[in-house]
Amino acid sequence: MNGRALHQFILFILQDKALFDSDSHSFKRTEPTMAGELDAPKELDIGDSIVTAEGSAAEGDLRVETTRTGEHLFTTTYEDPETGTLRLALQVDITTGSTALDPRHFDPDFWTLRVEGDTRPGRDLEAVLSSVPDPGLEVEPERREIRIYSDE
């Protein structure tokens, strides 16, 4: 499954947080100095994570965290901040832009699917993915939607 949009989103978030050096293609993290200010960025090591959205239980927002799981692999999780329930986990290969969605880490009752303008229940994920050639996806956590489109 090609997830160019999620790949670009991760790069956008990392660039926005000054965590991605586009010249060297390296990922960085920032660490507080003694004064509490952000110091010079350091490489984001395999196993390290950044939280791109804290989430607010009162507003129904999800906590979004991206972890570097391999040299070119990142896993992004969407979690309910109040209950700790994992709603979605995606893995992105930043070299190819491919995205893997594991059905074991997909809450079909939480998500709505949007395909070519049509709305489908989350339970239709397998059927939707098999009906779209070379599917790509975009996650809109604030709307509880996953947009699935043909990436051909």
Segments making up each domain of the chain, as ranges: 4-150
Residue 98: the pLDDT is 82
pLDDT for residue 2 is more than 90: no
pLDDT-derived band of residue 34, with 50, 70 and 90 as boundaries?
A: very low
Residue 68: the pLDDT is 92
Across-strand partners of 90? Answer: 76, 101
Residue 47: the pLDDT is 92
Which of the pair, 126 or 44, is modelled with greater confidence? 126
pLDDT tens digits for range 51-101: 888 876 556 689 999 999 998 899 999 999 989 999 999 998 888 888 888
* DSSP codes, the chain: -B-HHHHHHHHHHHHHTT-EETTTTEEEE--B-TTSSB-S-EE--TT-EEEEE---TTTTPPEEEEEE-SSSEEEEEEE-TTT--EEEEEEEETTT-BEEEEEEEE-TTT-EEEETTEEEEGGGHHHHHHHSSSEEEEEEGGGTEEEEEE--
pLDDT for residue 20 is more than 90: no
Residue 124: the pLDDT is 95
pLDDT tens digits for range 92-150: 888 888 888 888 899 999 999 999 889 999 999 999 999 998 888 899 998 999 999 88
Residue 103: the pLDDT is 84
Token pair 């309910």 in the structure block, residue: 80
Residue 31: the pLDDT is 40
Residue 152: the pLDDT is 67
Q: Which amino acid is at 119?
A: T
Token pair 């990922």 in the structure block, residue: 27
Closest of 105, 96, 44 to residue 77, by C-alpha: 105
